[in-house]
Copies of this chain bind each other. A is one copy, B any other.
């Protein structure tokens, strides 16, 4: 079953699946995209303010995006995104942490020039086994069920 724009209401919540992140994945991602010592070098990370290796923030965002794809984007008539606001890294993610999260519909609007879509904003919270690690707000463009407007 595909969810269309009309199927969303403010306050709707969706639970994400979970994914565990390994030390090797943390280092591999960070070597490519975020090679700070505390993301790629275990010894240097011990001496850093984190006291050990931590995942790149963009790695956390990317894993969360994958969890959102599997739980939500694959089930809705998603036509693209306008962007993301208020990306906040709340706590470090360490090797063998398991990430999961929730997504809540926080805003719905009808763009004047695109009657076939609604703009839907999702407040995303990702957490590990201990605490919230990331919040962000994603702005999606979702097709209406009946496109004959």
Given contacts A32-B66, A61-B58, contact A83 B86 (CB under 8 A): yes
Please pick, from B34, B65, B83, B89, the residue contacting A65 in the complex, using a CB distance under 8 A.
B34
Nearest CB of chain B from residue A82's CB, rounded to whole Å: 7
Nearest CB of chain B from residue A54's CB, rounded to whole Å: 10
Question: Among A32, A36, A87, which residue has the most Cβ atoms of chain B within 10 A?
Answer: A87
Taking CB atoms, residues of chain B closer than 8 Å to A87 are 83-85, 87
| A61 CA to B85 CA, complexed, in Å | 13
Interface of A is mostly: mixed
Indicate if A80 sits at the interface (CB-CB under 8 A): yes
- Count of chain A residues with a beta carbon within 8 Å of a chain B beta carbon: 29
The contact string, 1 if C-beta is below 8 Å from chain B, for chain A 72-113, is: 010000111111111111000000000000000000000000
| A98 CA to B63 CA, complexed, in Å | 25
Nearest CB of chain B from residue A143's CB, rounded to whole Å: 11
| A85 CA to B112 CA, complexed, in Å | 25
